[in-house]
Amino acid sequence: MKSDLFASEHMAETAAFPGMSLQNAKSVKYAVNGEMHARQGSMIAFRGDLQFERKAQGIGGMLKRAVTGEGLALMAVRGQGEAWFAHEAQNCFIVEIEQNDALTVNGRNVLCFDATLSYEIKTVKGAGMTGGGLFNSVFSGHGKIALVCEGNPIVIPVSPQAPVFVDTDAVVGWSEQLHTSLHRSQSFGSMIRGGSGEAVQLKLEGQGFVIVRPSELTPQKASAN
């Protein structure tokens, strides 16, 4: 049988090393040798001896998710084999977190991650009940995490001399050491006249980076997640 479908860029080869790698722009391959974690329902194929089990968040995580709608519905993948993960054909990116690093991520943008990473739902300091949520997922330790994003993300450096203001519906994640607060960018008079549609942003200050996606979360997408 002949087809462009069978070109090398579409073929799944046996992994040369354990852990995650990009299969293509829309999916991640993970060679499992023990245990890894992924968002529930994101596995699209696997081969080998693997088991998939719901991963509990703990009482604290369950309460925070119930109150805010934030958090991660996770599953643990255990055994020996290869698994492929994707979410709504969104673009996939792999980030390696090094020791003493920490990355704050919106739960909707997490695809899968190494079991060596610690995961915790934390309060976004100074953010209040914004569109991005009061709680975000914080990853620390040493290992890799795969993120998904609608479109190609923009990574914006943050410095003490140049704070960055981001729409709470567009933010994907940021360096955990950054200071966060709310910023109002329109006057009271403008709000009375109907507003600009850009009333409040998340302000990030310090040294690090922030990741944003090239779209805002629509109400339809928000209710589906």
pTM, 2 dp: 0.82
For residues 73 and 216, the model is more confident at: 73
pLDDT value for 6: 80
Name the one residue in this structure whose structure tokens are 């302000």: 203
Residue 131's pLDDT is 45
pLDDT classification of 162: cutoffs 50, 70, 90: very high
Q: Tens of pLDDT along 38-72?
A: 999 999 999 999 999 987 655 444 444 444 345 57
CA neighbor of 124 nearest in space, from 186, 72, 173, 197:
173
- Flag whether pLDDT at 100 surpasses 70: yes
Distance CA 186, CA 191 (A): 7
Category of 59 on φ-ψ map: left (φ > 0), alpha (ψ -120 to 50) or beta:
alpha
Indicate the pLDDT class of residue 212, thresholds 50, 70 and 90: very high
The DSSP bridge partners found for residue 82 are: 31, 47
Asked if residue 33 lies in contact with residue 18, where contact means CB atoms within 8 angstroms, the answer is: yes
For residue range 115-142, list pLDDT tens digits in order.
999 988 887 776 654 444 557 889 999 9
Distance CA(172)–CA(164), nearest Å, equals 14
pLDDT at 196: 46
